[in-house]
Amino acid sequence: MLSGSLVAIATPMQPGGALDLPGLCKLIDFHVANGTAGIVVVGTTGESPTVDFEEHCLLIKTAVEHAKGRIPVIAGTGSNSTSEAIAQTEYAKKAGASYCLSVVPYYNKPSQEGLYLHFKTIAEKVELPLIVYNVPGRTVADLGTDTVLRLAELPGIVGIKDATSDLVRHVDLMRRLPKEKSFALLSGNDDTALAYMLLGGHGVISVTANVAPRAMAEMCDAALNGKLEEARSANAKLMPLHAKLFVEANPIPVKWALAEMGLIGGALRLPLTPLGAPHHNVVRTALREAGCL
C-alpha cells in the first residue's frame, strides 16, 4: 500500500511553455535523494489541464523511464471524459506506471451513479491499480462516502486522495471500510495532512513536498510511527509553506518557489500567469522558515 509523503510533482517548462523533460528528470532525482515515497506526475500541480494528450503520455513515459524503479510513479490519468480517461490509463499501464490517479470528472457534474460507473468502467477496462481523487473545490462534483465504499469493493480500485480537508468524513470512511480491506487513504491537502494521518490515514499527496521533500518525508514518518511530538514540531515548521504555497492558485506559487530555489525555470502556460510581485516575499519568507533557502 502507498504511504508516506508522495509528491504531486510540478511540470518544468521552458520559456514559451515547451516541456522541460531534463528538468523533470532532475526533480525526480531530487525526490529520490530526499526520501519522497512516490511521484505523482501530470496531476493538478503538473498543469494537466494545459498538457495535451501526447505531452501527457510523454511526461508519464519520461517519469517512469527515469525513475527506473527507484520510486513508484503514479500517473495522473483523469478526465471528465470516461473514454479519454481509459485511453490515458491504458497508456500509463503500457509505460510501466505503478498506479494511476483519476480525478472526479469536472464541469459536467455527474450524479453519484455516474461517478461510480465512470471509475468502475476505467478499473474494469485497464488492470492498473487506480486511486480516485476527490477535490470538489476544483471539480464541483463531490464523491460521496457511500460511493467511495462501493468503489472500494472493486479489486482494481486501491485508494483515495481526499482533498476535502473534511476530517469527519475521513473518520466516517475509515469506520465503514471493511477491516480486511487494503485501501490507501491519502490526504490531498498539506495543511491537514498531519491530522489526517493521526486519525488513521496512510500519507499525503503533497504540494509542499516539491520544495521540502526531506522535511515532508520525515514528518510523515514520525506521524505514521507514533512519534507525536516530532511530527507536530516538523509540521509546525512546514505550516507557513502549507499556507503560502496557495496564496495564488496551485501551481503558480510552488513553481515560483522551485525557480527561487534554482531547481527549475518558472514558466507556466496560460491561463496561469507568474506569481504576483506582492507575494514574492511572502513565499520567500516561508521557504526560509522551512529551511528551503
Q: Please report where in the chains the cell 499525503 appears, as a residue.
A: 204
106 is an active site residue: no
Burial (CB < 10 A; 0-12, 13-18, 19+), residue 197, is buried
Name the catalytic one among 120, 161, 244, 255.
161
28 within 8 A of 67, measured Cβ to Cβ: yes
- The H-or-E segment that residue 160 falls in is strand 157-162
Residue with cell 509546525: 236
41 contacts: CB under 8 Å, gap ≥ 6: 9, 11, 24, 59, 60, 63, 73, 74, 75, 76
The 10 Å Cβ neighbour count of residue 279 is 15
> Which cell goes with 6?
508522495
H or E element: which one contains 46? none
Name the nearest CA neighbour of 261 among 217, 221, 211, 222: 211
161 among known catalytic residues: yes
Half-sphere exposure of 216 (CA within 13 A, CB side): 33
Q: Determine which one of 91, 133, 244, 255 is catalytic.
A: 133
- Please state, in angstroms and rounded to a whole number, the distance separating the CA atoms of residues 258 and 74: 21
Active-site residue list = 133, 161
